Amino acid sequence: MPYNIGVLNGDDIGLEVVPQAVRVMQAAIAAETGLDVQFHDFPVGWPSYLEYGHTLPQQTMDGLRQMDGFVLGPIGHAAYPKGDPNCVNAHPILRKQFDLFANMRPTRSYPTLPSVQRDVDLLVVRENNEGFQPDRNMIAGCGEFQPTEDSAFSVRVITKRGSERVARAAFEAARQRGGKRRVTAIHKRTVFKLTDGLFMRTVESVAKEYPDITLDDYQVDTFAMHLVMRPQRFDVILCTNMFGDILSDQAAGLVGGLGMAPGLNIGDTQAMAQATHGSAPDIAGKKLANPYAMIMSGQMLLEWLGARNQDARMVAAARRITTAVEQVLGEGKALTRDLSGTATTDEMGAAIAEVCRAL
Ligand code: ATP
Protein backbone atom coordinates (compact mmCIF):
# COMPACT_ATOMS: atom_id res chain seq x y z
CA MET A 1 0.00 0.00 0.00
CA PRO A 2 1.43 3.38 -0.93
CA TYR A 3 1.56 6.23 1.55
CA ASN A 4 -0.54 9.27 0.66
CA ILE A 5 0.71 12.76 1.49
CA GLY A 6 -1.40 15.88 0.94
CA VAL A 7 0.22 19.07 -0.32
CA LEU A 8 -1.24 22.50 0.46
CA ASN A 9 0.91 25.32 -0.84
CA GLY A 10 -0.71 28.15 1.14
CA ASP A 11 -0.07 31.82 0.39
CA ASP A 12 2.82 34.11 -0.60
CA ILE A 13 6.17 32.35 -0.04
CA GLY A 14 4.27 29.10 0.50
CA LEU A 15 3.97 28.91 -3.29
CA GLU A 16 7.77 28.96 -3.47
CA VAL A 17 8.93 26.89 -0.47
CA VAL A 18 6.36 24.06 -0.48
CA PRO A 19 7.29 22.87 -4.02
CA GLN A 20 10.92 22.68 -2.84
CA ALA A 21 9.93 20.58 0.17
CA VAL A 22 7.98 18.22 -2.11
CA ARG A 23 10.86 18.07 -4.58
CA VAL A 24 13.31 17.09 -1.83
CA MET A 25 10.93 14.54 -0.29
CA GLN A 26 10.36 12.98 -3.71
CA ALA A 27 14.10 12.75 -4.38
CA ALA A 28 14.72 11.08 -0.99
CA ILE A 29 11.78 8.68 -1.42
CA ALA A 30 12.81 7.72 -4.96
CA ALA A 31 16.26 6.78 -3.66
CA GLU A 32 14.77 4.19 -1.26
CA THR A 33 13.90 1.08 -3.29
CA GLY A 34 10.32 -0.09 -2.80
CA LEU A 35 9.13 3.01 -0.97
CA ASP A 36 5.90 4.17 -2.60
CA VAL A 37 4.50 7.60 -1.71
CA GLN A 38 1.80 9.43 -3.67
CA PHE A 39 1.54 13.22 -3.34
CA HIS A 40 -1.87 14.88 -3.75
CA ASP A 41 -2.44 18.63 -4.18
CA PHE A 42 -5.28 20.31 -2.28
CA PRO A 43 -6.51 23.89 -2.60
CA VAL A 44 -6.04 26.22 0.37
CA GLY A 45 -5.56 29.93 1.05
CA TRP A 46 -6.04 32.86 -1.28
CA PRO A 47 -5.52 30.93 -4.57
CA SER A 48 -8.25 28.55 -3.36
CA TYR A 49 -10.56 31.46 -2.59
CA LEU A 50 -10.10 32.80 -6.11
CA GLU A 51 -10.83 29.42 -7.69
CA TYR A 52 -13.36 27.81 -5.32
CA GLY A 53 -14.71 30.75 -3.30
CA HIS A 54 -13.29 29.48 0.01
CA THR A 55 -9.84 29.51 1.63
CA LEU A 56 -10.46 26.03 3.07
CA PRO A 57 -13.00 24.29 0.81
CA GLN A 58 -14.86 21.15 1.84
CA GLN A 59 -13.08 19.09 -0.83
CA THR A 60 -9.79 19.83 0.93
CA MET A 61 -11.11 18.75 4.33
CA ASP A 62 -12.60 15.56 2.83
CA GLY A 63 -9.47 14.75 0.85
CA LEU A 64 -7.12 15.28 3.79
CA ARG A 65 -9.01 12.71 5.84
CA GLN A 66 -7.79 10.08 3.33
CA MET A 67 -4.14 11.12 3.74
CA ASP A 68 -1.46 9.65 6.02
CA GLY A 69 -0.15 13.15 6.59
CA PHE A 70 0.13 16.50 4.86
CA VAL A 71 2.34 19.48 4.19
CA LEU A 72 0.85 22.92 4.81
CA GLY A 73 2.51 26.07 3.54
CA PRO A 74 2.17 29.38 5.40
CA ILE A 75 -1.21 31.09 5.34
CA GLY A 76 -1.34 34.88 4.83
CA HIS A 77 -4.65 35.30 6.62
CA ALA A 78 -3.78 38.76 7.96
CA ALA A 79 -4.28 40.13 4.43
CA TYR A 80 -7.66 38.44 3.81
CA PRO A 81 -10.72 40.70 3.57
CA LYS A 82 -12.39 41.04 6.97
CA GLY A 83 -15.92 39.79 7.58
CA ASP A 84 -16.12 37.24 4.74
CA PRO A 85 -17.02 33.85 6.28
CA ASN A 86 -15.39 32.08 3.32
CA CYS A 87 -12.03 33.68 4.15
CA VAL A 88 -10.85 31.65 7.13
CA ASN A 89 -7.40 31.06 8.53
CA ALA A 90 -6.88 27.40 7.62
CA HIS A 91 -4.14 26.33 9.96
CA PRO A 92 -5.83 26.55 13.38
CA ILE A 93 -8.88 24.84 11.86
CA LEU A 94 -6.74 22.01 10.49
CA ARG A 95 -4.91 21.62 13.80
CA LYS A 96 -8.21 21.43 15.64
CA GLN A 97 -10.20 19.31 13.15
CA PHE A 98 -7.44 16.74 12.81
CA ASP A 99 -6.74 16.82 16.57
CA LEU A 100 -3.09 17.70 16.04
CA PHE A 101 -2.41 18.38 19.70
CA ALA A 102 1.38 18.84 19.78
CA ASN A 103 3.55 21.16 17.73
CA MET A 104 7.17 20.01 17.48
CA ARG A 105 9.55 22.86 16.66
CA PRO A 106 13.26 21.96 16.55
CA THR A 107 16.07 24.51 16.56
CA ARG A 108 19.49 23.54 15.37
CA SER A 109 22.61 25.57 14.64
CA TYR A 110 24.99 24.68 11.82
CA PRO A 111 28.72 25.43 12.23
CA THR A 112 29.07 27.04 8.80
CA LEU A 113 26.07 29.38 9.07
CA PRO A 114 25.94 32.80 10.69
CA SER A 115 24.20 32.43 14.06
CA VAL A 116 23.98 34.18 17.40
CA GLN A 117 24.71 30.96 19.30
CA ARG A 118 26.68 27.81 18.44
CA ASP A 119 26.03 24.13 19.28
CA VAL A 120 22.28 24.58 19.69
CA ASP A 121 20.13 21.47 19.33
CA LEU A 122 16.79 21.71 21.07
CA LEU A 123 13.14 20.97 20.49
CA VAL A 124 10.20 23.08 21.61
CA VAL A 125 7.10 20.91 22.14
CA ARG A 126 4.11 23.22 22.23
CA GLU A 127 0.53 22.43 23.15
CA ASN A 128 -1.40 23.22 19.99
CA ASN A 129 -5.13 23.52 20.60
CA GLU A 130 -5.72 25.22 23.95
CA GLY A 131 -4.13 28.05 25.91
CA PHE A 132 -4.60 31.71 25.14
CA GLN A 133 -5.09 31.39 21.37
CA PRO A 134 -8.66 32.64 20.77
CA ASP A 135 -8.97 30.89 17.39
CA ARG A 136 -8.50 27.51 19.05
CA ASN A 137 -10.41 28.11 22.19
CA MET A 138 -13.49 25.96 21.64
CA ILE A 139 -14.16 25.24 25.31
CA ALA A 140 -14.79 28.86 26.23
CA GLY A 141 -16.84 29.25 23.03
CA CYS A 142 -14.77 32.24 22.09
CA GLY A 143 -11.34 33.02 23.45
CA GLU A 144 -11.81 36.77 23.56
CA PHE A 145 -14.70 39.04 24.31
CA GLN A 146 -15.30 42.73 24.74
CA PRO A 147 -18.19 43.56 27.06
CA THR A 148 -17.71 47.32 26.72
CA GLU A 149 -15.93 49.62 24.34
CA ASP A 150 -13.17 50.19 26.89
CA SER A 151 -12.53 46.66 28.18
CA ALA A 152 -11.59 43.38 26.53
CA PHE A 153 -10.82 39.95 27.97
CA SER A 154 -8.94 36.82 26.88
CA VAL A 155 -9.64 33.37 28.26
CA ARG A 156 -6.87 30.83 28.70
CA VAL A 157 -7.93 27.20 28.62
CA ILE A 158 -5.73 24.47 30.11
CA THR A 159 -7.07 20.94 30.50
CA LYS A 160 -5.64 17.85 32.12
CA ARG A 161 -6.12 15.88 28.89
CA GLY A 162 -4.42 18.50 26.71
CA SER A 163 -1.51 18.83 29.16
CA GLU A 164 -1.13 15.07 29.47
CA ARG A 165 -1.02 14.51 25.73
CA VAL A 166 1.54 17.22 25.02
CA ALA A 167 3.64 16.16 28.02
CA ARG A 168 3.74 12.60 26.76
CA ALA A 169 4.76 13.83 23.30
CA ALA A 170 7.63 15.75 24.93
CA PHE A 171 8.88 12.82 27.02
CA GLU A 172 8.64 10.46 24.06
CA ALA A 173 10.62 12.96 21.96
CA ALA A 174 13.30 13.24 24.66
CA ARG A 175 13.62 9.46 24.64
CA GLN A 176 13.75 9.28 20.84
CA ARG A 177 16.33 12.06 20.57
CA GLY A 178 18.53 10.15 23.02
CA GLY A 179 20.63 13.24 23.79
CA LYS A 180 20.52 14.97 27.13
CA ARG A 181 17.29 13.10 27.95
CA ARG A 182 15.85 16.13 29.62
CA VAL A 183 12.46 17.85 29.50
CA THR A 184 12.24 21.45 30.69
CA ALA A 185 8.68 22.59 31.38
CA ILE A 186 7.85 26.28 31.08
CA HIS A 187 5.19 28.10 33.10
CA LYS A 188 4.33 31.18 35.11
CA ARG A 189 2.97 29.23 38.03
CA THR A 190 3.36 32.06 40.50
CA VAL A 191 0.84 34.18 38.56
CA PHE A 192 -1.32 31.70 36.61
CA LYS A 193 -1.90 29.63 39.73
CA LEU A 194 -4.84 27.63 38.39
CA THR A 195 -3.97 27.14 34.72
CA ASP A 196 -0.20 26.68 35.04
CA GLY A 197 -0.78 24.91 38.36
CA LEU A 198 -2.87 22.27 36.54
CA PHE A 199 -0.41 22.13 33.64
CA MET A 200 2.61 21.56 35.89
CA ARG A 201 0.89 19.05 38.20
CA THR A 202 -0.09 17.05 35.10
CA VAL A 203 3.42 17.25 33.64
CA GLU A 204 4.92 16.07 36.95
CA SER A 205 2.53 13.16 37.00
CA VAL A 206 3.38 12.12 33.39
CA ALA A 207 7.10 12.43 34.25
CA LYS A 208 6.74 9.50 36.67
CA GLU A 209 6.13 7.24 33.62
CA TYR A 210 9.56 8.28 32.28
CA PRO A 211 12.12 7.62 35.03
CA ASP A 212 14.91 7.70 32.42
CA ILE A 213 14.14 11.34 31.52
CA THR A 214 14.95 14.27 33.83
CA LEU A 215 12.24 16.89 34.31
CA ASP A 216 13.03 20.42 35.38
CA ASP A 217 11.07 23.64 35.02
CA TYR A 218 11.46 27.39 34.68
CA GLN A 219 9.26 30.44 34.97
CA VAL A 220 8.83 31.69 31.40
CA ASP A 221 10.58 35.05 31.98
CA THR A 222 13.66 33.46 33.58
CA PHE A 223 13.74 30.85 30.83
CA ALA A 224 13.61 33.49 28.08
CA MET A 225 16.90 34.85 29.44
CA HIS A 226 18.56 31.43 29.78
CA LEU A 227 17.48 30.51 26.26
CA VAL A 228 19.41 33.46 24.87
CA MET A 229 22.46 33.09 27.11
CA ARG A 230 22.86 29.30 27.36
CA PRO A 231 20.65 27.46 24.84
CA GLN A 232 23.17 24.58 24.76
CA ARG A 233 21.92 23.43 28.17
CA PHE A 234 18.47 22.54 26.90
CA ASP A 235 17.07 19.49 25.13
CA VAL A 236 13.24 19.29 24.99
CA ILE A 237 11.28 22.35 26.08
CA LEU A 238 7.66 21.68 26.97
CA CYS A 239 5.30 24.67 26.72
CA THR A 240 1.69 25.72 26.73
CA ASN A 241 0.48 27.20 23.45
CA MET A 242 1.44 30.87 23.52
CA PHE A 243 4.68 30.51 25.51
CA GLY A 244 5.74 27.87 22.98
CA ASP A 245 4.89 30.09 20.04
CA ILE A 246 6.98 32.95 21.38
CA LEU A 247 9.92 30.88 22.63
CA SER A 248 10.24 28.89 19.40
CA ASP A 249 10.55 32.12 17.38
CA GLN A 250 13.14 33.33 19.89
CA ALA A 251 15.04 30.06 19.52
CA ALA A 252 14.94 30.46 15.71
CA GLY A 253 16.53 33.88 16.15
CA LEU A 254 19.56 32.22 17.76
CA VAL A 255 20.36 30.15 14.68
CA GLY A 256 19.64 32.33 11.65
CA GLY A 257 16.00 33.40 11.83
CA LEU A 258 12.59 32.12 10.82
CA GLY A 259 13.80 30.48 7.61
CA MET A 260 15.61 28.00 9.88
CA ALA A 261 12.56 27.00 11.94
CA PRO A 262 10.74 23.83 10.83
CA GLY A 263 7.77 22.25 12.58
CA LEU A 264 5.45 19.27 12.69
CA ASN A 265 1.95 19.17 14.17
CA ILE A 266 1.24 15.69 15.47
CA GLY A 267 -1.88 13.83 16.51
CA ASP A 268 -2.59 10.18 17.22
CA THR A 269 -3.31 9.25 13.62
CA GLN A 270 -2.07 12.08 11.37
CA ALA A 271 0.62 14.74 11.20
CA MET A 272 0.93 18.06 9.38
CA ALA A 273 4.30 19.51 8.37
CA GLN A 274 4.24 23.28 8.82
CA ALA A 275 7.16 25.69 9.10
CA THR A 276 7.15 28.11 12.02
CA HIS A 277 7.33 31.16 9.78
CA GLY A 278 4.36 33.01 8.28
CA SER A 279 3.75 33.79 4.62
CA ALA A 280 6.32 36.66 4.57
CA PRO A 281 4.52 38.81 1.96
CA ASP A 282 7.47 41.24 1.97
CA ILE A 283 9.69 38.72 0.16
CA ALA A 284 7.02 36.73 -1.73
CA GLY A 285 7.56 36.26 -5.46
CA LYS A 286 11.19 37.40 -5.24
CA LYS A 287 12.77 33.93 -4.97
CA LEU A 288 14.41 35.01 -1.71
CA ALA A 289 12.59 32.69 0.70
CA ASN A 290 14.73 30.15 2.50
CA PRO A 291 13.19 26.69 1.86
CA TYR A 292 15.08 25.04 4.79
CA ALA A 293 12.21 25.33 7.29
CA MET A 294 9.68 23.82 4.89
CA ILE A 295 12.07 21.10 3.66
CA MET A 296 12.92 20.05 7.21
CA SER A 297 9.22 20.14 8.14
CA GLY A 298 8.72 17.59 5.34
CA GLN A 299 11.67 15.61 6.70
CA MET A 300 9.96 15.53 10.12
CA LEU A 301 6.75 14.23 8.51
CA LEU A 302 8.63 11.37 6.84
CA GLU A 303 10.41 10.57 10.11
CA TRP A 304 7.07 10.54 11.96
CA LEU A 305 5.51 8.25 9.31
CA GLY A 306 8.54 5.96 9.48
CA ALA A 307 8.38 5.67 13.28
CA ARG A 308 4.61 5.24 13.36
CA ASN A 309 4.64 2.50 10.72
CA GLN A 310 7.96 1.00 11.83
CA ASP A 311 9.09 1.44 8.25
CA ALA A 312 12.87 1.45 7.98
CA ARG A 313 12.76 2.71 4.37
CA MET A 314 10.76 5.76 5.35
CA VAL A 315 13.13 6.45 8.24
CA ALA A 316 16.03 6.11 5.80
CA ALA A 317 14.40 8.61 3.40
CA ALA A 318 14.06 11.09 6.27
CA ARG A 319 17.72 10.57 7.27
CA ARG A 320 18.77 11.09 3.67
CA ILE A 321 17.18 14.56 3.73
CA THR A 322 18.93 15.46 6.99
CA THR A 323 22.29 14.39 5.58
CA ALA A 324 21.71 16.22 2.28
CA VAL A 325 20.75 19.41 4.09
CA GLU A 326 23.84 19.18 6.32
CA GLN A 327 26.02 18.73 3.24
CA VAL A 328 24.52 21.66 1.31
CA LEU A 329 24.64 23.98 4.32
CA GLY A 330 28.19 22.81 5.04
CA GLU A 331 29.38 23.55 1.50
CA GLY A 332 27.77 26.97 1.71
CA LYS A 333 27.33 27.30 -2.09
CA ALA A 334 23.54 27.17 -2.47
CA LEU A 335 22.31 29.38 0.36
CA THR A 336 19.55 31.99 0.26
CA ARG A 337 20.10 35.63 1.16
CA ASP A 338 19.00 35.31 4.82
CA LEU A 339 21.91 32.84 5.22
CA SER A 340 24.32 35.31 3.60
CA GLY A 341 24.17 33.50 0.25
CA THR A 342 22.97 34.47 -3.22
CA ALA A 343 21.00 31.37 -4.27
CA THR A 344 17.31 31.50 -5.09
CA THR A 345 14.72 29.41 -3.25
CA ASP A 346 14.64 27.06 -6.21
CA GLU A 347 18.43 26.73 -6.44
CA MET A 348 18.74 25.81 -2.77
CA GLY A 349 15.93 23.23 -3.07
CA ALA A 350 17.49 21.78 -6.24
CA ALA A 351 20.90 21.47 -4.57
CA ILE A 352 19.44 19.56 -1.60
CA ALA A 353 17.38 17.29 -3.87
CA GLU A 354 20.47 16.58 -5.96
CA VAL A 355 22.47 15.48 -2.92
CA CYS A 356 19.51 13.32 -1.82
CA ARG A 357 19.74 11.48 -5.13
CA ALA A 358 23.54 11.19 -5.04
CA LEU A 359 23.97 9.90 -1.46
P1 ATP B 1 2.59 35.08 11.13
O2 ATP B 1 1.92 36.09 11.98
O3 ATP B 1 1.78 34.60 9.97
O4 ATP B 1 3.22 33.96 11.91
P5 ATP B 1 4.96 36.64 11.16
O6 ATP B 1 4.49 37.97 11.59
O7 ATP B 1 5.63 35.76 12.18
O8 ATP B 1 3.80 35.82 10.44
P9 ATP B 1 6.55 35.94 8.95
O10 ATP B 1 5.74 36.02 7.74
O11 ATP B 1 6.79 34.62 9.55
O12 ATP B 1 5.93 36.93 10.00
O13 ATP B 1 7.96 36.55 8.67
C14 ATP B 1 8.57 37.62 9.34
C15 ATP B 1 9.77 38.01 8.50
O16 ATP B 1 10.77 37.00 8.56
C17 ATP B 1 9.38 38.11 7.04
O18 ATP B 1 8.92 39.39 6.76
C19 ATP B 1 10.64 37.74 6.30
O20 ATP B 1 11.42 38.87 6.08
C21 ATP B 1 11.32 36.78 7.27
N22 ATP B 1 11.08 35.39 6.87
C23 ATP B 1 10.07 34.59 7.25
N24 ATP B 1 10.17 33.39 6.67
C25 ATP B 1 11.27 33.43 5.89
C26 ATP B 1 11.90 32.49 5.01
N27 ATP B 1 11.45 31.23 4.82
N28 ATP B 1 13.02 32.88 4.37
C29 ATP B 1 13.53 34.10 4.53
N30 ATP B 1 12.98 35.03 5.34
C31 ATP B 1 11.85 34.70 6.02
State the 10-residue block means of pLDDT for the chain, 359 residues long: 95 98 98 96 97 97 98 94 92 93 97 93 96 67 84 92 98 95 97 97 98 98 98 97 96 95 97 96 97 98 97 98 97 94 98 97
Give SS3 for 52: helix
Ligand 1 centroid to Cα of residue 277, in Å, is: 5
Ligand 1 centroid to Cα of residue 101, in Å, is: 23
Distance of CA 211 to the CA centre of its chain: 28
Neighbour count for residue 299 (Cβ, 10 Å): 25
Do 127 and 101 meet the contact criterion of CB atoms below 8 Å apart? yes
Amino acid, res. 292 = Y
User: What pLDDT does 132 receive?
Assistant: 85
DSSP letter (8 states) at residue 259 = G
Q: Which residue is closest in CA terms to ligand 1's atom 13?
A: 280
Half-sphere exposure in the Cβ direction for 90 (13 Å, CA): 30
Distance CA 109, CA 93 (A): 32
Half-sphere exposure in the Cβ direction for 287 (13 Å, CA): 10
Q: Which residue is closest in CA terms to ligand 1's atom 12?
A: 278
Q: What is the pTM of this model?
A: 0.95
Q: Which residue is closest in CA terms to ligand 1's atom 15?
A: 280
User: What pLDDT does 138 receive?
Assistant: 56
Distance CA 241, CA 102 (A): 9
284, 248, 288: which is closest to 265 by C-alpha?
A: 248
What residues does each domain of the chain span?
1-101+263-359, 116-254
Amino acid, res. 6 = G
User: What pLDDT does 133 receive?
Assistant: 76
User: What pLDDT does 145 receive?
Assistant: 83
Q: According to CATH, what is the number of the domain 1-101+263-359?
A: 3.40.718.10
Going from the C-alpha of 298 to that of each of 36, 137, 249, 250, 280, the distances in angstroms are: 16, 28, 19, 22, 19
| Architecture in CATH for domain 116-254 | 3-Layer(aba) Sandwich (3.40)
User: What pLDDT does 326 receive?
Assistant: 97
Ligand 1 centroid to Cα of residue 135, in Å, is: 20
- The reply to whether ligand 1 has any atom less than 6 angstroms from the CB of 335 is no
Domains 1-101+263-359 and 116-254 share a fold: yes
Exposure class string for 243-261: b at 16+ Cβ within 10 A, else e: bbbbbbbbbbbbbbbbbbb
- The reply to whether ligand 1 has any atom less than 6 angstroms from the CB of 91 is no
Ligand 1 centroid to Cα of residue 95, in Å, is: 20
